[in-house]
Chain A
Amino acid sequence: MSNVSDSLLLKLIIIGRSMAGKSCILLRFCDNKFESNLGFTIGVDFRFVSLNKNDETIGLQIWDTAGQERFRTITSSYYRDADGVMIVYDITDENSFDQVDHWFDEISKQAPPSVVKILVGNKTDLENKRKISTERGLNAANSRSCPFIEVSAKSGENVKKAFEMLVDAWTEKSKQHITKPRKKKARQKITNESFEKKDKGNCC
């Protein structure tokens, strides 16, 4: 198995309305490490998880805003340099779904353009209390061209899959972007040269 430090390291952020179950998703994904080893894990980055994909180990550094949602301004610094964002809503809470738009807006302003997103509907274990249908969730995700999945942090259903989907989306996007930086560099070089020429022209 390859070493994590030698492999890819992605910064992922989990956002969403408070009580949507963000911390539960993270805890479930981290195999409840926080519960068993709390005294040691506070202050240590327990939100670092390695994911094996196609014989490759991908390090995931997961940042979550649990408990800080109302300090709105803090979260803006979280978005910087993010590779992926997981937007979580509660399928039993209409208000949390209404805020999805707000979160997408925020990402477009604060996060880098290359960031990948996934919309996640949580609490599928509470099917009898469901207020947001799967279709509505799917439509919301489709309108923003991002993947969608419904999970249950309580039972653990689809939690790992959600993170895998986010990583897949990132891999796909990064493949598409391979040529873009080259183009950018070339364009930049040309403009620098043209600036120099222009400056010289002005001097003479």
Chain B
Amino acid sequence: MKNSKKILNLISSWITYFPYRWRNQNELIQNYQILLHQILIPRFSEFKIYDLHLENFLDSKPKITDNYKWLHYKFTDKPILEDEEKKQQKKYPKENHKKTKRKIKKNEKTLKHSILDTLSETEFAEQLSIFQYDLMTNLDPDELLHINWYEKFELHPTLTRIVYFFNNISFYVSWRILKEKNVIPRSKMMKRFMKIFYILIKMKDYQSAQIINSGVQRASIYRLKHSKSLLSKKDFNLFDEGNNLLTPNSSYMNYRDEIRNFEGIQFYIPFLSVNLTDLTFIHEGNQERINGMINFNRFRFAFHSMKMAFSSLFLDSNFPSPIPEIQREFNLITKIKSEKELFHLSLKREPREPDRYIF
């Protein structure tokens, strides 16, 4: 009976923490019910206890904080020193909120992003990294376990936020460069973002680094030959160094080699899309069941991929204090232009040249 109880407790914890894994799993639910009947039919009172678990939790929403805690224990074997609330309070002291209340200006639209221009490259990188860190630590690992995360946004709230944030900031980077009408300031802006990219690589925030990188590498920016010609070799060398690390060549081999040294030892923010690709292949390339039995290898692979993504995220990080105003500003950035508009703007800034210039 002891062993049976252990199994039932395990399953009930499974239901408690991952209720939506049970949705539409009729076979699994049926098997569970049969198991309950087999084990607990002589003890009807206990049967009710375990049966209630399933009914209560099937329609409930995932408990993100609980899962986060579970993940933390799982990967670090250390208790959480502060709960999320305290951590938030520490990061965003209430006094600061009062002090930095911004007056809404008439011309808010045009000034919307100017505050980000006032930051130095290092400050920009740090603040972006802090925002990214908050997003990543709120990511429920169970969100990643679903292969169809694209279809069911409501089941993947944080992942959706991470994706939107990635695309929005990346668009902002391209737009900010193209906003400059003259070549010299445009080139300076390009240099600024290349420097931010390099700093982010050094800070080991690979997710944010890739945001900036993709903004600078966008076709509408990539083609700006005049602006690029004003950049020094040193600028390009630094940029290439980081770019080489995040190249998709050989399934991001350079990046994987790099983080292998840090895993569980040193803090870093992972480049999530590498893990998403791995998880896609793990799901597609491994059957859920083999001869009717659950293929635990599939989950083991998924676990290792997620461990790679999260194991270092909970280690000590040396972030400076967040500037609430800047953090809000990042949050406010929405998709500024479409890909088409950006390209049009790029053509306007540097029109296509006659064939003789193409080498």
Residues of A with Cβ closer than 8 Å to B? 18-19, 23-24, 27, 32, 34-35, 38-39, 42-47, 63-64, 66-74, 76-78, 106, 109-110, 187-188, 191, 195
Q: Do B167 and A66 have beta carbons less than 8 Å apart? A: no
CB distance from B145 to the nearest CB of A (A): 13
* 9 new A-B contacts at CB < 8 Å, known A27-B284, A67-B273, A67-B277: A23-B285, A34-B281, A42-B256, A43-B252, A69-B150, A71-B273, A73-B218, A77-B214, A109-B339
What are the 3 closest A-B residue pairs judged by CB atoms, nearest first?
A67-B276, A73-B214, A67-B280
Contact A42 B150, beta carbon cutoff 8 Å: no
* Pair B250/A72 contact, Cβ less than 8 Å: no
Bound complex: CA of A91 vs CA of B241, how far in Å? Answer: 42
Name the residue on B nearest A153 (C-beta).
Answer: B284
Instruction: Check if A35 sits within 8 Å of B253, measured CB to CB.
Output: no
Verify if B208 is at the interface (C-beta below 8 Å from A).
no
Given contacts A35-B285, A77-B217, contact A187 B355 (CB under 8 A): yes
Residues of B238-256 whose CB lies within 8 A of A: 248-253, 256
**Alpha-carbon distance between A23 and B251 when the two chains are bound, in angstroms:** 13
Q: A23 contacts B253, CB within 8 Å?
A: no
A19 close to B356 (CB less than 8 A): no
Chain B residue numbers with a CB within 8 Å of A63 are 248
Indicate if the CB atoms of A38 and B285 lie closer than 8 Å. Answer: yes
Taken together as a complex, chains A and B put the C-alpha atoms of A118 and B279 apart, in Å, by 27
Whether the pair A43, B253 counts as a contact (CB closer than 8 A) is: yes
**Complex CA distance for A164 and B214, rounded to whole angstroms:** 32
Please name all residues of chain A whose beta carbon is closer than 8 Å to the beta carbon of B167 when the two chains form the complex: 70-73
Report whether A47 and B251 are in contact in the complex, using a CB–CB cutoff of 8 Å: yes
Mark B198-242 against chain A: 1 for CB-CB distance below 8 A, else 0: 000000000000110011011100000000000000000000000
- CB pair A44–B250 under 8 Å, yes or no, is yes
Within the assembled complex, what's the spacing in Å between the Cα atoms of A39 and B278?
A: 11
| Closest B residue, CB atoms, query A63 | B248
- With A and B bound together, what is the CA distance between A124 and B94 in angstroms? 59
Check A23–B281 contact: CB distance below 8 A. yes
Given the contacts A67-B279, A69-B150, A71-B163, A78 and B248 also touching, CB distance less than 8 Å: yes
Nearest opposing residue in chain B for A75, CB measure: B214
A-B contact pairs, 17 of them (CB 8 A): A19-B148, A23-B281, A35-B285, A38-B286, A43-B256, A45-B249, A67-B278, A67-B279, A67-B280, A71-B167, A71-B273, A73-B167, A74-B210, A74-B214, A76-B218, A188-B356, A188-B359
Also in contact, A66 and B285, with CB within 8 A (given A44-B251, A44-B253, A77-B217): no
Q: Are A68 and B251 closer than 8 Å at their CB atoms?
A: no
Contact of B217 among A19, A44, A76, A106 (CB under 8 A): A76
- In the complex, the answer to whether B250 meets A45 with C-beta atoms within 8 Å is yes
With an 8 A cutoff between CB atoms, is B326 at the interface?
A: no
Which residue of the partner chain B has the closest CB to A111? Answer: B219
Contacts of B252 in A (CB 8 A): 43
Tell which of A66, A67, A69, A191 touches B356, judged by Cβ atoms closer than 8 Å: A191
B301 CB within 8 Å of chain A: yes
Least CB distance, B293 to chain A, in whole angstroms? 16
| A72 partner residues in chain B, CB cutoff 8 A | 167, 339
Pair A42/B163 contact, Cβ less than 8 Å:
no
Q: Among residues 53 to 96 in chain B, which have CB atoms less than 8 Å away from a CB atom of chain A?
A: none
**Identity of the chain A residue whose Cβ is nearest the Cβ of B174 in the assembled complex:** A73
Q: Enumerate B317-342 residues with CB–CB distance to A below 8 Å.
A: 339
B151 touches A19 (CB 8 A): yes
B197 close to A (CB within 8 Å): no
**Cα-based distance from A63 to B248 in the complex (angstroms):** 8
Nearest-neighbour CB distance to chain A for B232, whole angstroms, equals 23
Instruction: Determine if B155 is an interface residue (Cβ-Cβ < 8 Å).
Output: no
- The docked-state distance in angstroms from the alpha carbon of A77 to that of B214 is 8
Contacts A24-B284, A38-B285 given; does A109 touch B219 at CB 8 Å? yes
Q: How far is the CB of B246 from chain A (nearest CB, A)?
A: 9
Most buried by A among B166, B276, B277, B281: B281
B282: contacting residue among A38, A43, A70, CB under 8 A: A38
Known A-B contacts A43-B256, A47-B251; the reply to A23 vs B166 at CB < 8 A is: no
Q: Say if the beta carbon of B171 comes within 8 Å of chain A.
A: yes
Question: Across the two chains, which residue of chain A brings its CB closest to B286?
Answer: A35
Residues of B within 8 A of A46 (CB): 251
Kindly state whether residue B268 has any CB partner on chain A within 8 Å. Answer: no
The answer to whether A109 touches B284, judged by C-beta atoms less than 8 angstroms apart, is no
Distance in Å from the Cβ of B123 to the closest Cβ of chain A? 23
B187 close to A (CB within 8 Å) = no
Of listed A43, A63, A69, A110, residue having the most chain B CB within 10 A: A43
Query: Taking the nearest CB of chain B, how far is it from the CB of A35, in angstroms?
Result: 4
How many Å from the CB of B165 to the closest CB on chain A? 10
CB-defined contacts of A42 to chain B, threshold 8 Å: 251, 256, 278, 305
Q: Are A27's CB and B281's CB within 8 A?
A: yes
* Residue among A42, A63, A69 with the highest chain B CB neighbour number at 10 A: A42
Smallest distance from the beta carbon of A111 to chain B beta carbons, Å? 9
Q: Which of B151, B285, B301 contacts A32 (CB 8 A)?
A: B285
Given A45-B250, A46-B251, A188-B356, decide whether A76 and B214 contact each other with a Cβ distance below 8 A: yes
